[in-house]
Amino acid sequence: MNQPYDYADASQWRGTTILTIRNKDKVVVVGDGQVSAGNTVMKGNARKVRRIAGGKVICGFAGATADAFALLERLEAKLEAHPTQLARACVELAKDWRTDKYLRQLQAMMIVADKKETYVLTGNGDVVEPEEGITAIGSGGNFAYAAALALKEYEKDPEVLARKAMAIADKICVFTNSNLTVEVLEIK
C-alpha cells in the first residue's frame, strides 16, 4: 500500500540543476526552474540563481528554499565583512554552518562565483573549488556536469555551453526543466 506523500518532508523535494562554467572571459551560473515534490511538479519557474553583493557575486542553490535563503543572507553578511574575499567569506560561512546548532539543520547546497573564483558550499563544511572551471549541484547536476565536460572541447563560449549542457540534463533528469535562469559575469 502506498504511503501518503508528506509535503513537509524536505528530503522528498527534488528538482534543481545548477551548473557553473568559467573560462578566461566570463563565468556563467545557470539553474533550471523546476521544483518537484515526489513525482509531482510543484512549480516550473523558480529562480534558483541570484546575484548578491551588489551584483558582484552569483549564487545558485539547491535544496530547501527557505534554508537556501537563510544561507544566502548569511553569505551576504560574510561578504560585507570581507569584501572582495569570496574564499574567506565562504570558509567563514562553512564554519558557521558546521558549528551553529540552527544552521547545521539547513538542507541546501550552494555554488558561488565572482570574477576570480568559484566554490561549492555544503552543510558538511565543504568549500570546494572545482577543477576544469565546471561544477554542478542538484538532482540533475551530474547530468549537466557530464554534458558540459563532454561538450567543452567543441563549444568555447561558456554561456552557450551551459545552455547546451542544461538541455541535455533536461532530457535525462525528470527533476530538471528547460526554464532557465542564466547569470553571467564578464571577467575582462
CA distance 48 to 180: 9
- Domains in the chain: boundaries: 23-36+48-175
Number of H helices, E strands in the chain: 4, 12
74 to each of 27, 49, 178, how far by Cα in Å?
Answer: 23, 16, 30
First vs last C-alpha separation in the chain:
59
Q: What is the pLDDT of residues 113-171, one digit of tens each?
A: 999 999 998 877 789 999 889 999 998 999 999 999 999 999 999 999 999 999 999 99
Q: What is the 3-state secondary structure (H, E, C) of 137-168?
A: EECCHHHHHHHHHHHCCCCCCHHHHHHHHHHH
Q: Environment class of residue 138 by beta-carbon count within 10 Å: exposed (0-12), middle (13-18) or buried (19+)?
A: buried
Q: Which three cell numbers stand for residue 118?
A: 568559484
| pTM of the entire predicted model | 0.89
Catalytic-role residue among 16, 17, 20, 135: 16
User: At 42, is the pLDDT very low, low, confident or very high (cuts 50, 70, 90)?
Assistant: confident
For the domain 23-36+48-175, what is the CATH code? 3.60.20.10
| Residue 84 known to be catalytic | no
Q: What is the pLDDT of residues 21-34, one digit of tens each?
A: 999 999 999 999 99
Which of 87, 91, 46, 92 minimizes the C-alpha distance to 69? Answer: 46
